[in-house]
Structure 1
């Protein structure tokens, strides 16, 4: 397995926030059914989706949980040369109250508009547990990968992530604006930091999500602080 391919595949999964969910059609047996869904990642690094109970893809998953999520690189003119990742997975509806609460808190940070329709309508959280991955990084860069997901150490260990996010958004808006400027991202509306993992962090600008990489992998909050300071001083 190519270590570089695994890294690039995971970075693509982090950089994007929507994909095409393909399920086995219950209404038309034998045919795949594709639908567009936003996602963020669970503490295990698996795609987390919020879908309506009356949606066709939900009915399909209840009948057969085997599915795939296609994630393609944004902003590339040649669709044959862009990066794309297909996650073959088993979909699992979250039914434990604490797991649902944790998923909601995380998902709302990425997609705050989902809070209203989640409460007002019959929507449920599902995680997509990866079985295998197919990554294409461009012409000739084609890989079957068995293990791409990486657990988030800051979500799993006492939810240090929430504290770091609150600190950055409340006390370091200027640093966040600097990250935005250095990355060439839109300066308005003001960016909010919505996720931190060992390899980088997510910013939400309006309804768009962007992921920026740390200079080096961070396995503790102290290392994250050093990385963010270094990026702010560039």
Structure 2
């Protein structure tokens, strides 16, 4: 068991002058990276050698901001997690230019196997982001793991570092939004049935128009996906029910 008094990401001994860094909205950037990254690096620990073992995988996110991922039971990283649940994820806009000039998010924590009761809904959320996942999520050795985050590091690009944000900063507060969560699946179907509506929302989120689909909605915003990209549209104000959501979408249309 980790000693909670010791940070899971050990700070550097070197003194870094905060004034030398460029200002940026660390929490918003970190949440943007978490919610719009398609691929992540997953590091586990080899149970025999103790060396880190890294692989690439898709990343999905639960409504409260908890990341989760697929692993076949026979995969090496699944075996490693069974022996030691400590993992690290790195998320970034891979294949979009010079990686060192773009935001990268490092998460450290523990993998937790989702229960049989949780798996069907998690699979549906995963497939909404990655439609081709139907090919492998139906395999008999499919497993889904969520990550319980213990440490966060966001690098927003040159001279933009922040290690003082926490797992709570990445979470989406669902308190009081029960009616929204209950109605959101039907609302997603409705929005996606309106020709061009999802594309309009994606453009508002800074993306090019195209064949976009809304994949999830939470009190803070809307997540969208195309065959090649993900987008996040943040609400101007927190939304907790369907009436507020309708108002937010109406205002965005203006």
* TM-score, structure 2 normalization: 0.80
Asked if structure 1 preserves the Cα contact closer than 8 Å seen for 2:123 and 2:137, the reply is no
Q: 1:154-169 residue pairs with structure 2 within 5 A?
A: 157=178, 158-169=181-192
Alignment length, in residue pairs?
A: 227
Per-residue deviation at 1:9?
0.9
Does 2:30 correspond to 1:9? yes
Q: Detail structure 1 runs of 4+ shifted over 4 Å in the superposition.
A: none
Match in the other structure for 2:123: 104
Take 2:185 and 2:195, find their aligned partners in 1: how far apart are those partners? 16
Take 1:205 and 1:43, find their aligned partners in 2: how far apart are those partners? 19
Take 2:140 and 2:85, find their aligned partners in 1: how far apart are those partners? 22
Match in the other structure for 1:175: 197
Match in the other structure for 1:113: 132
Query: What RMSD over aligned residues (CA atoms) do the two structures have, in Å?
Result: 2.5
Match in the other structure for 1:215: 236
* TM-score, structure 1 normalization: 0.86
Does 2:52 correspond to 1:32? yes
5+ residue gaps, structure 2: 1-22
Which residue, 197, 201, 212 being the options, matches 2:222?
Answer: 201
* Distance change (3 Å), C-alpha of 1:108 and 1:77: closer
Asked if structure 2 preserves the Cα contact closer than 8 Å seen for 1:13 and 1:71, the reply is yes
Which residue, 64, 68, 92 being the options, matches 2:88?
Answer: 68
Take 1:120 and 1:78, find their aligned partners in 2: how far apart are those partners? 36
Per-residue deviation at 1:106?
1.4
Match in the other structure for 1:130: 149
**Rg (Cα) greater in structure:** 2
Secondary structure at the aligned position of 2:25 is classed as helix
Per-residue deviation at 1:73?
3.0
* Distance change (3 Å), C-alpha of 1:102 and 1:93: same
